[in-house]
Homo-oligomer: A and B are copies of this chain.
Amino acid sequence: MSENRPAAERPAAEADEVSLLLDDQMCFALYAAQRALTNRYRPLLDEFDLTYPQYLVMLVLWEHGALPIKSLGKLLQLDYGTLTPLLKRLQAHGLIRRERQASDERSVQISLTEQGAELRKRARVIPATIGQAAGLTATEAGNVKALLERLTANVTASQ
């Protein structure tokens, strides 16, 4: 297959065509990195009985306090199909409360329990541990973050 040769050797007709090779694809690097990183979080989060998406919800609640599900979804870019059962599990673990708003009976307010708020102190170690494991300089991590955010904005807009 011509794709197994370096670009310089390929026929001109294929020169401007993007490769179908796995190793040429930034998308696969992204896909693999996301799973590898989530796997790295797992042993850390196991100590709190949290999954990575659940940890993200806790981050938002620690930062913003009580929020309706809708707002959680906007911040995390997740829909109700994901959040509704996830939040019920967090509630079952005693970390959050779910309460209908009196002002708008459609809305469900999510707030931290004492126990959920407590967890924050112990969780402070996690970002540093992950930062260590990632092995990127602050500049590199910042660059990746900025480029990924542009990527997300671009592909979301072109839908």
Give A residues with C-beta under 8 Å from B: 1, 3-4, 17-22, 25-41, 52, 56, 59-60, 62-63, 75-77, 120, 123-124, 126-128, 130-136, 140-145, 147-152, 154-156, 158-159
Contacts and interface: CB of A to CB of B under 8 A. Distances in A.
Contact of A143 (B30, B41, B143): B143
A52 B26 contact: no
Given A32-B77, A52-B31, A59 B20 contact: yes
Given A63-B21, A155-B37, A140 B133 contact: no
B144 A32 contact: no
A149 B135 CA distance: 11
A3, A32, A38, A75 — most chain B CB neighbours (10 Å): A32
Nearest to A154: B135
A128 B21 contact: no
A152 B26 contact: no
A120 B19 CA distance: 12
A33 B127 contact: no
Contacts of A135: 150-151, 154-155, 158
Given A3-B63, A26-B134, A39-B156, 9 more contacts: A18-B127, A22-B56, A29-B152, A30-B34, A31-B52, A34-B34, A40-B155, A136-B151, A143-B143
Nearest to A36: B152
